[in-house]
Amino acid sequence: MKNERLNGKIVVITGASGGLGEQIARQCARNGANLYLLARSQGRLEQISTSIREQYKVKCTTIRLDITQYEQIPSVFQRIYEEAGKIDVLVNNSGYGIFAEAENIKIADVEGMFAVNVIGLIACTKEVIPSMCKQQSGQIINIASQAGKLATPKSSVYSASKHAVLGFTNSLRMEMSIYGVQVMSVNPGPIRTTFFDKADPSGSYLENLGRYMLDTEKVAANIIASMLTNRREINMPRWMDIAGTLHTLMPRVVERVGRKAFFKK
């Protein structure tokens, strides 16, 4: 499906060196957007950028950025504004998780998840707010997770970080609405990417729930179709979103009925 609204627009994507970020980049380019791809892996970014430029004939610039190095973020966005003049869409995609019971989680991993998933996301967002408010247009897309709506065993800290993303996004949406700036959260279930190489080195999650994994291209296509619209949030898959809603309404029942499934990772 084509999204004509993206043609000629400037889209900035964090965590663009693979997985969902790469797919979002490729599908944005297919729709005529010019891109700035940000991630730590400069080599991988260059490979993706070269492929995108050759295939889609759009501008695609890479900038190495570790979003936990907060002092670097302002200069990166200043460069983008100097080169492109504006940013139409910011996709805060950088994120990772570590699955471990609360008793066993390392404080370094707690700090790391919040540094990337929450503080880095907020720091990048702050860099586009003044300009988007001034131009009274633009969109901020925050990649959260169904884990931010329904926490399960061994994901306490990861879920907490995504709860924080949703809280920030929901507040920001109201703040930005008076300026005509759109804010959308994306809440996918597990996606078949390298995310689980780090989140679950044992492989038990993939072994137990691999058949329920979402496809990166389908998730990206849903996001692309909603770019520069006033859609509030994307929830995938449908059954997991229903489970999260039921948990809000009947938490004790859902936790009892779903107990066996929740402990499968």
- pLDDT at 27 (0 to 100): 97
Burial degree of 9 (CB within 10 A; 0-12, 13-18, 19+): buried
In the chain, where does DSSP find H-type helix?
A: 19-30, 42-56, 73-84, 107-114, 121-135, 156-177, 195-199, 204-209, 216-226, 238-249, 251-257, 259-262
Helices 121-135 & 73-84 angle (0-180, nearest 10): 30
- pLDDT at 258 (0 to 100): 57
Q: What is the model's pTM? A: 0.88
Structural domain harbouring 148: 4-262
d(CA 149, CA 45): 31
d(CA 170, CA 168): 6
Cβ proximity of 23 and 217 under 8 Å: yes
CATH number assigned to the domain comprising residue 34 = 3.40.50.720
Low-confidence ranges of the chain (pLDDT < 50): 199
Q: How far is CA 213 from the centre of its chain?
A: 16
**Of residues 96, 158, 205, 212, which has the active-site annotation?**
158
Residues 6 or more apart in contact with residue 14 via CB below 8 angstroms: 21, 38, 39, 65, 67, 91, 92, 93, 94, 120, 121, 124
| Residue 205: active-site member | no
- pLDDT at 248 (0 to 100): 74
Domain count, the chain: 1
Which residue in 160, 161, 168 sits closest to 142, CA to CA?
Answer: 168
- pLDDT at 140 (0 to 100): 98
- pLDDT at 52 (0 to 100): 97
64, containing H or E segment: strand 60-64
